[in-house]
Amino acid sequence: MEYDDIVQQVIEFLGTFAFAISGIRHAAAKHFDWFGGYVCGIAVAIGGGTIRDVMLGTTPFWMTDPIYMVCTALALLFVIVFAKHIEGLRNTWFVFDTLGLALFTIAGIQKSLDFGQPYWVAIIMGCITGSAGGVIRDVLLNNEPVIFQREIYAMASVIGGVTYWLLGYFGAPIEVMVISTFLLICLIRFLAVRYHLALPKLNNE
């Protein structure tokens, strides 16, 4: 297995775990049972990547390796075992959701480039990979999708994608591209929530 493939799998695994925890925590807030929590976890963990892979014309990533299903089960077990500790951590779900967004954005960009797509397509695919799962989760939970709320979410993914492209354009090593993009997306999300930063609202008048 090539080095880039290993990096891709590690990122997808970590992103799956982070997003699954986010989905399961949202389901717990709605008092779903364990199976309902698993469904919400798997929906947010594989939803964006599935849409990406279908658009790229390839078999969805989770259908080629059961590790992603197992990863979601581990996330469910993690939430069950450490439920009391997680409840004591304010906005824990937000942290995991942000980590998942950053990791899956990178995974979506890298996979799109591997399939020969231009960078502008890869940036869009990264955004879809990072944010579409959250939309599916929110629809299942009957919540307003986070990308339609005022807080900066999908735009953080887009900015991270542009940064990834710029670093690659100037010949940065893959490690620098991945780490820098990951940190930037997380930083944008944390700062946006901390200081209530948002894009301007549409005015219907």
Residue 63 or residue 201, greater confidence: 63
Query: Distance (Å, rounded) from C-alpha 140 to C-alpha 173?
Result: 39
Q: Could you tell me what percentage of the chain is helix, strand and coil, using 3-state DSSP and rounding each to the nearest 5?
A: 75, 0, 20
First to last CA, the chain: 57
Q: Provide Rg for the chain, Cα atoms.
A: 16
Asked whether the beta carbons of 49 and 104 are under 8 A apart, the reply is: yes
Query: Distance (Å, rounded) from C-alpha 11 to C-alpha 5?
Result: 10
What does the pLDDT look like over 27-41, one tens digit per residue? Answer: 988 889 999 999 999
Query: Distance (Å, rounded) from C-alpha 126 to C-alpha 12?
Result: 12
What does the pLDDT look like over 139-148, one tens digit per residue? Answer: 999 988 888 8
Mean pLDDT, rounded, of the chain: 89
Predicted confidence (pLDDT) at residue 160 exceeds the cutoff of 90: yes
Predicted confidence (pLDDT) at residue 204 exceeds the cutoff of 90: no
pTM of the model: 0.88
What does the pLDDT look like over 171-183, one tens digit per residue? Answer: 999 999 999 999 9
**Where does 30-66 have alpha helices with state H?**
34-56
SS3 115: coil
Asked whether the beta carbons of 85 and 7 are under 8 A apart, the reply is: no
Predicted confidence (pLDDT) at residue 49 exceeds the cutoff of 60: yes
Confidence grade of residue 12 (pLDDT, cut at 50, 70, 90): confident
Predicted confidence (pLDDT) at residue 109 exceeds the cutoff of 80: yes
